[in-house]
């Protein structure tokens, strides 16, 4: 592990260090140390041990150079942009060399131990336990959905423990989540990079956290809670180093489960939605861990929150959805929620699940569209798209509807697609347009008569009843319709085209 002046200052043994450090706390560039000799060119990857009789020229000291002196230097050196440490009491060069060498060795050994933790049966726990003595405070490993994956704390009587045994692999209490969701500083923390301090509003102390990303996506958060000893500047580089090992772990192994979802499951489902290629064998392995199969019967929902995403965390909503709907997986997809329900494994029917979801929709100001049942799971992309498009149509044409079946909006989707490039009139038979023009010119309603006739499946008695016409009058009008339009009503394709055209004209607000 490369180290920095903060680590040397806080971990040197037997010497009290003073000084002034300007470099960022997480910046670690020191790979070795060396005794400085006058005239030597200084490098940023080396900590230089300086004797009183061989002080460097201040004008030749580059920014971020680390100088460790055996006595307080002159003000001219302190005014440079170097990181400068010096002993409170004068010491020999040998004492200084031994003390600094021990710090380098200490963190070299830590890196070796952390590397070996990657091959531990429970590497998530082993990595945290390995660094607990360095960070000196209880630590937690949390997902963005507030699932406590692991915690790390020195053993002590139960009543003095920060974490309880039940906290591991469980969710943070909803009341605590609600408080955090109303804290603007916490909401900003989603995008934090590197070690960051957060004044935790749910506890007396602060915390130091780092968001851990896998393939560029924020996956998990490592948190040090300041409850036993004050946080130190040196905690920043140690936390950053530990986070790097967690990121390495997630890259190397796909069997690490960091929430109730097997690790590869979320990635495969999102790739399935976007049409990206994915490893089917990994998907099947992930499904087996939750006792699902690709061939099971599923349905899915596209859910949109009517609240600001920052104030109504979608990740938190996913947690609640999974708690309410057993045998389900919920994940955030482009500011919406995908809820995938396994009907084969569920003790409830689809209708019973939907009844639960209706209550949740009203309570949490959600709008949701439900797909039809499908199998195998590889059909998810098309069925989720069906629900997504249905929700988009409902938001546009039926804003008061909160809960809908995608099948109810299938025809509207077809009409929407049909009129995206061409106006509805160009999609109608010419005979129907001719009939409409005749009506307008002569004050007739033959187009309406034809529509009722077709909607009654060409049953004359039913048609005359709905139109309040005598049979002979209707038959006369029907003959006139055939002559004027030139349409062959005996052809089923013509009848289908006509019925669809009436729907198109209605959809485009063209009155017939």
Name the more confident of 483 and 408: 483
Name the more confident of 263 and 470: 470
| Tokens 């920095």 found at | 4
User: What is the share, in percent, of the chain residues with pLDDT greater than 90?
Assistant: 52
Integer Cα distance of 2 and 107 in angstroms: 8
Which structure tokens are listed for 249?
């772990």
Task: Report residue 419 CA to chain centroid gap.
Answer: 35
**Residue ranges of the alpha helices (H) in 44-139?**
75-78, 93-117, 123-135
The H or E element containing residue 438 is helix 430-442
Integer Cα distance of 476 and 460 in angstroms: 12
Please give the mean pLDDT across all residues of the chain. 87
Angle between helices 380-397 and 410-418 (to 10 degrees): 80
* Residue 414 binned pLDDT confidence (cut-offs 50, 70, 90): confident
Integer Cα distance of 76 and 67 in angstroms: 14
pTM for the model stands at: 0.62
| Closest listed residue to residue 233, CA positions, set 135, 311, 150 | 135
pLDDT tens sequence across 152-188: 999 988 888 989 888 887 777 766 766 776 677 777 7
- Please, which residues have CB within 8 angstroms of residue 42's CB and are 6 or more apart in sequence? 36, 48, 56, 60, 61, 62, 65
CATH numeric code, 263-417: 3.30.70
- Please, which residues have CB within 8 angstroms of residue 50's CB and are 6 or more apart in sequence? 36, 56, 67, 68, 69, 70, 73
220, 142 Cβ separation under 8 angstroms: yes
Q: Please state which of the four CATH numbers 3.60.21.10, 3.40.50.620, 3.30.450.40, 3.40.50.720 is assigned to the domain occupying 123-252.
A: 3.30.450.40
pLDDT tens sequence across 6-58: 999 999 999 999 999 999 999 999 999 999 988 888 999 999 999 888 888 88
- Please, which residues have CB within 8 angstroms of residue 10's CB and are 6 or more apart in sequence? 232, 233, 234
């Amino acid at each position: 592990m490369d180290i920095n002046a903060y680590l040397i200052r806080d971990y040197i043994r037997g010497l009290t260090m003073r000084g002034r450090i300007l470099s960022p706390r997480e910046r670690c560039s020191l790979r070795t140390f060396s005794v400085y000799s006058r005239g030597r060119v200084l490098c940023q990857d080396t900590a230089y041990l300086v004797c009183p009789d061989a002080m460097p020229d201040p004008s030749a000291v580059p920014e971020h150079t680390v100088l460790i002196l055996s006595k307080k230097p002159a003000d001219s050196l302190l005014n440079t942009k170097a990181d400068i440490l010096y002993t409170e009491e004068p010491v020999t060069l040998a004492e200084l060399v031994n003390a600094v060498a021990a710090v380098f060795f200490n963190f070299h050994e830590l890196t070796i131990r952390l590397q070996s933790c990657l091959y531990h049966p429970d590497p998530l726990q082993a990595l945290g336990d390995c660094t607990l003595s360095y960070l000196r405070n209880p630590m937690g490993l949390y997902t963005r959905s507030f699932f406590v994956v692991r915690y790390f704390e020195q053993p002590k009587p139960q009543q003095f423990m920060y974490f309880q045994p039940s906290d591991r692999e469980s969710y943070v209490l909803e009341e605590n989540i609600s408080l955090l969701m109303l804290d603007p500083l916490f909401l900003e923390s989603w995008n934090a990079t590197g070690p960051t301090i957060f004044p935790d509003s749910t506890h007396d102390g602060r915390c130091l956290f780092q968001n851990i990303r896998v393939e560029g996506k924020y996956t998990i958060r490592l948190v040090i809670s300041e409850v036993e000893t004050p946080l130190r500047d040196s905690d920043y580089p140690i936390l950053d180093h530990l986070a790097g090992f967690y990121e390495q772990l997630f890259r190397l192994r796909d069997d690490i489960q960091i929430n109730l979802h097997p690790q590869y499951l979320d990635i495969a489902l999102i790739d399935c939605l976007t049409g990206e290629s994915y490893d089917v064998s990994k998907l099947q392995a992930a499904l087996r861990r939750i006792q699902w199969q690709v061939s099971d019967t599923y349905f899915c929902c596209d859910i949109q929150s009517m609240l600001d995403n920052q104030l109504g965390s979608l990740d938190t909503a996913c947690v609640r959805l999974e708690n309410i709907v057993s045998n389900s997986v919920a994940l955030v997809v482009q500011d919406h929620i995908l809820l995938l329900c396994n009907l084969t494994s569920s003790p409830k029917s689809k209708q019973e699940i939907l009844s639960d979801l209706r209550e949740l929709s009203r309570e949490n100001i959600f709008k949701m569209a439900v797909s039809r049942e499908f199998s195998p799971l590889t059909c998810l992309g098309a069925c989720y798209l069906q629900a997504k498009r249905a929700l988009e149509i409902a938001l546009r044409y039926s804003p008061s509807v909160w809960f809908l079946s995608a099948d109810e909006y299938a025809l509207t989707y077809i009409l929407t697609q049909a009129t995206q490039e061409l106006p509805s009139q160009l999609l109608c038979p010419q005979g129907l347009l001719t009939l409409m023009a005749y009506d307008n010119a002569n004050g007739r309603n033959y187009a309406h008569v034809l529509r009722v006739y077709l909607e009654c499946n060409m049953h004359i008695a039913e048609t005359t009843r709905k139109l309040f016409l005598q049979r002979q009058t209707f038959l006369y009008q029907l003959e006139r319709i055939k002559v004027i339009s030139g349409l062959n009503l005996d052809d089923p394709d013509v009848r289908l085209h006509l019925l669809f055209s009436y729907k198109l004209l209605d959809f485009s607000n063209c009155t017939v």
